[in-house]
């Protein structure tokens, strides 16, 4: 296996609605930022892979247009996943592992503001049984939260604490959208949005993007004094039929964590792409994280949740803290689908 590292991370300042910019205008400065950090250009990149979803802004093939922001001339090797950019990173990592590239640019973005996101996400459901009911994504997450509460694995108060903690640390994150939190008492006094979930239990709707540069071996050393090496990378999926699985556990996170080697060392930090408060509890348990692990130092998706980018952002946030020496070893998690249906786990490590 080749040694591959994240050497540069760039994010937008995530916002509820960037209505004066199109997706190309939104992502271009983010991509340029990733290059400027390491004084590189697109000519130094062997492969480009992006993650996005046309359904969010209602623009078919919008990801093709986003290549304007890359400067894809002369024509280059490029790919796209209709998924979170974390899976685009997985594809880029495979490309490098197979020897077809030494460097890669991975980016992800979305503008969910033009549509009704909770309704759009109902298109991820079984088209025969559930899609025609048009359930919103918050009510579906509420089913999992209720299951957690009924099983005694969390409570509305514990969920409020998670919201409070994440948004408070987000005050130190210049890219975060929702920074700071009311007190837990004030949070619990709010009405339900979708009983048992309150507004604070849910992620914000965010427009934004992220770009990450991968490099193998010596190239990584050339671009970063302390690259964030990808020591493990795996993704698994649970059944799409969430009436047939236990919503309080995540076997896919546990298996991916095992295959990625999470338990092979101390985990200093973990960035979890758990957009709903009750899901952080599920992921922490499935990963076997101890009390000495700092969870979501960036504030996580509760502070900013640009769809299709939030997972790649988690990898970027862990990588940044390894590159700047704050942490030596970290875990990043990305998710896709309702109720943590599909999950990716990355283990990142710094040397020296």
Where do contacts with other proteins occur on this chain (CB under 8 A)? 19-25, 28, 31-32, 42, 55, 57-58, 60, 65, 67-73, 114-116, 118-120, 123, 127-136, 138-147, 150, 192-197, 239, 241-245, 247
Q: Considering beta carbons, is residue 171 or 189 the nearer one to other proteins?
A: 189
Q: Considering beta carbons, is residue 110 or 296 the nearer one to other proteins?
A: 110
Q: How far apart are CA 127 and CA 69, in angstroms?
A: 34
HSE toward the beta carbon, residue 170, CA cutoff 13 A: 24
φ, ψ of residue 201 to 5 degrees: the values are -80, -10
Nearest distance in Å: CB 33, other proteins: 12
Query: Facing residues of 342 across strands?
Result: 237, 336
Q: What one-character-per-residue DSSP string does 233-294 give? A: EEEEE--S-TTSS-TT--HHHHHHHHHHTGGGS---EEE----SHHHHHHHHHHHT--TTSE
The counts of H helices and E strands in the chain are 12, 12
Cα–Cα nearest to 138, from 193, 191, 82 = 193
Nearest distance in Å: CB 51, other proteins: 18
Q: Considering beta carbons, is residue 13 or 129 the nearer one to other proteins?
A: 129
Nearest distance in Å: CB 37, other proteins: 15
Nearest distance in Å: CB 172, other proteins: 30
Q: Considering beta carbons, is residue 38 or 143 the nearer one to other proteins?
A: 143
Q: Considering beta carbons, is residue 32 or 168 the nearer one to other proteins?
A: 32
Residues 6+ apart with CB under 8 A from 116: none
Nearest distance in Å: CB 167, other proteins: 22
Nearest distance in Å: CB 328, other proteins: 34
Q: Considering beta carbons, is residue 179 or 245 the nearer one to other proteins?
A: 245
Q: How far apart are CA 331 and CA 58, in angstroms?
A: 33
φ, ψ of residue 20 to 5 degrees: the values are -95, 0
């Amino acid at each position: 296996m080749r040694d591959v590292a994240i050497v540069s991370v760039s994010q937008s300042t995530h916002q509820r609605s960037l209505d004066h910019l199109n997706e190309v205008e939104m992502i271009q400065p983010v991509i340029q930022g990733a290059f400027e950090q390491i004084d590189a250009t697109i000519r130094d990149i062997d492969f480009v892979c992006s993650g996005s979803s046309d359904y969010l802004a209602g623009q078919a093939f919008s990801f093709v247009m986003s290549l304007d922001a890359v400067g894809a001339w002369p024509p280059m090797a490029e790919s796209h996943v209709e998924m979170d950019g974390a899976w685009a990173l997985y594809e880029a990592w495979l490309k490098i592992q197979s020897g077809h590239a030494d460097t890669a640019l991975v980016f992800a973005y979305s503008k969910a503001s033009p549509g009704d996101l909770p309704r759009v996400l109902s298109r991820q459901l079984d088209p025969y049984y559930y899609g025609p009911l048009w359930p919103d994504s918050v009510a579906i997450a509420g089913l999992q939260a209720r299951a957690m509460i009924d099983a005694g694995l969390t409570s509305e108060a514990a969920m409020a604490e998670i919201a409070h903690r994440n948004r408070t640390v987000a005050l130190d994150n210049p890219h975060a959208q929702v920074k700071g939190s009311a007190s837990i008492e004030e949070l619990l006094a709010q009405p339900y949005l979708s009983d048992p979930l309150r507004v604070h239990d849910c992620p914000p709707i965010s427009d934004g993007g992220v770009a990450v540069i991968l490099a193998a071996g010596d190239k990584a050393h050339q671009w970063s004094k302390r690259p964030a090496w990808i020591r493990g990378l795996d993704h698994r999926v649970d059944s799409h039929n969430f009436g047939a699985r236990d919503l309080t556990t995540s076997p896919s996170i546990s298996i991916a964590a095992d295959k990625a080697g999470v338990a092979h060392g101390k985990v200093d930090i973990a960035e979890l792409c758990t957009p709903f408060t009750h899901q952080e509890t599920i992921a922490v348990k499935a990963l076997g994280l101890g009390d000495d692990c700092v969870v979501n130092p960036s504030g996580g998706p509760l502070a900013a949740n640009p769809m299709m980018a939030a997972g790649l952002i988690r990898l970027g946030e862990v990588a940044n803290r390894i590159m700047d020496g704050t942490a030596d070893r970290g875990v990043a998690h990305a998710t896709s689908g309702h109720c943590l249906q599909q999950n990716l786990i990355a283990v990142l490590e710094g040397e020296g």
